[in-house]
């Protein structure tokens, strides 16, 4: 009875297929790391939280509108209050408690939202805010600043919050001088900054006009400086972009202040920002090394076999062994006889 043998097929290396697998693995890992980096930013999850702003008039027990105020009307008389008067009264109620910081209601009534630039009728309010920002100390302005007004609140209800002092903190990306224009307050040059906050995102800037420029600031369009400022909310401003008209909250303040971070926090933030590129680079380098090593090994094996002089053997060439061992032994015997014939 002939012994049977199981024929084994050696898997062959497919460089194109393995190259595709390595590339897809590296790209998948890079996508996952980028998604993790974006998900850890608190600013990307602000849309999930409800609006935390609360009416300060309700918190302080002040009347919500002019209708709640007492008047001297006779029993048979009525008072007609227009929506503009209601908004004006609400604006006065929300202005700072410090009377020196308040802006005249007649000035604020002339300001219109969703307009490009500052109109001539808005100049009294505009320069009144600038003058108060210059003359009143920074401590008094900071003590009157509100910290609960969000980007959505200011954009949806600008008239109700006009003239309030608001804390704005974010990343300053553009800063430079602008002409003050004709005025009676003695301003020759002002400074304009475009600031992006974590809450509003990277596509919704704030425009802030300042009286003074910090001494250690550089001017230009490529600034990346973390700053904050207590400033008057002026209006919802329209401005032109490459994609059409856009709107942004406009503020008027004294001077930008750098946000000083502790050394450990700054180092940790810098390391966190560099972690994703470092991991991606490491994975790409590892994938390239694996691919080059496999390619080099696949090319060296045939050269080594050819140099050994045993290329005639079917086993060393990677061919399939004979099904019957006896046939293989007989072949070896015939090859031996051919190479070393018996003496005659």
Q: Is residue 320 part of a domain?
A: no
The CA distances from residue 142 to 7, 78, 135, 159, 261, in Å, are 86, 42, 14, 22, 19
The fraction of the chain above a pLDDT of 70, given in percent, is: 67
pLDDT tens track for 139-153: 999 999 999 899 999
Spatial contact of 60 and 84, defined as CB atoms under 8 Å apart: no
> Do both 111 and 123 map to the same domain?
yes
Q: Which pLDDT belongs to residue 7?
A: 58
- Domain membership flag for residue 306: no
22 domain residue, yes or no: no
Q: Which range has the worst mean pLDDT, 132-146, 187-201, 329-343? A: 329-343
Q: Are residues 161 and 216 in the same domain?
A: yes
Residues 283, 240 share a domain: no
Within a domain: residue 238? Answer: yes
Please list, residue by residue across 282-296, b when 16 or more beta carbons sit within 10 angstroms of its beta carbon and e when fewer do. ebbeebeeebeeeee
Distance CA 148, CA 167 (A): 8
- Phi first, then psi, for residue 146 (nearest 5°) are -95, 145
Residue 45 DSSP label = G
Range of the domain at 267: 262-291
More confident of the two residues 92 and 330: 330
292: confidence class by pLDDT, cuts 50, 70, 90: confident
Distances (CA, A) of 145 to 39, 41, 101, 129, 142: 31, 26, 11, 14, 5
Q: What is the mean pLDDT of residues 94-99?
A: 78
Choose among 156, 123, 155: nearest CA to 250: 155
Selection from 96-100, 138-142, 258-262 with the highest mean pLDDT: 138-142
Cα Rg, the chain, nearest whole Å: 38
Residues 187 and 213 both lie in one domain: yes
pTM over 0.85, yes/no: no
Do both 248 and 280 map to the same domain? Answer: no
pLDDT of residue 311: 46
Q: What is the mean pLDDT of residues 52-66?
A: 44
What pLDDT was estimated at residue 309? 52
Residues 185 and 286 in one domain: no
Residue 11 lies in a domain: no
Same domain for 272 and 154, yes or no, is no
């Amino acid at each position: 009875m002939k012994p049977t043998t199981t024929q084994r097929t050696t898997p062959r290396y497919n460089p194109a297929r393995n190259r595709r697998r390595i590339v897809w693995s590296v790209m998948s890992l890079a996508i996952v790391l980028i998604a993790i980096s974006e998900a850890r930013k608190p600013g990307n999850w602000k849309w999930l939280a409800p609006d935390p702003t609360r009416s300060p008039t309700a918190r302080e027990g002040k009347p919500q509108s002019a209708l709640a105020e007492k008047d001297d009307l006779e029993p048979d008389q009525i008072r007609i209050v227009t929506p503009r008067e209601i908004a004006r009264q609400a604006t006065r109620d929300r202005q700072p408690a410090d009377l020196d910081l308040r802006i005249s209601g007649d000035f604020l009534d002339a300001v219109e939202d969703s307009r490009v630039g500052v109109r001539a009728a808005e100049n009294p309010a505009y320069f009144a805010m600038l003058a108060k920002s210059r003359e009143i100390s920074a401590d008094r302005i900071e003590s009157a600043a509100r910290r609960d007004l969000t980007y959505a609140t200011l954009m949806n209800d600008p008239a109700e919050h006009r003239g309030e002092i608001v804390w704005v903190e974010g990343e300053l990306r553009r800063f430079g001088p602008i002409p003050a224009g004709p005025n009676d307050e003695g301003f020759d040059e002002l400074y304009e900054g475009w600031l992006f906050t974590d809450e509003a995102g990277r596509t919704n800037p704030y425009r802030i006009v300042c009286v003074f420029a910090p001494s250690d600031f550089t001017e230009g369009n490529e600034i990346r400086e973390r700053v904050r400022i207590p400033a008057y909310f002026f209006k919802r401003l329209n401005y032109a972009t490459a994609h059409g008209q856009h709107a942004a909250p406009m503020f008027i303040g004294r001077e930008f202040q750098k946000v000083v971070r502790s050394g450990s926090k700054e180092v940790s933030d810098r390391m966190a920002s560099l972690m994703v590129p470092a991991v991606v680079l490491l994975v790409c380098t590892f994938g390239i090394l694996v691919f080059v090593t496999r390619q080099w090994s696949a090319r060296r094996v045939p050269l080594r076999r050819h140099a050994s002089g045993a290329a005639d053997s079917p086993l060393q060439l990677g061919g399939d062994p004979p099904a019957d061992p006896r046939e293989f032994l007989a072949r070896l015997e015939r090859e031996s006889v051919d190479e070393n014939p018996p003496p005659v």
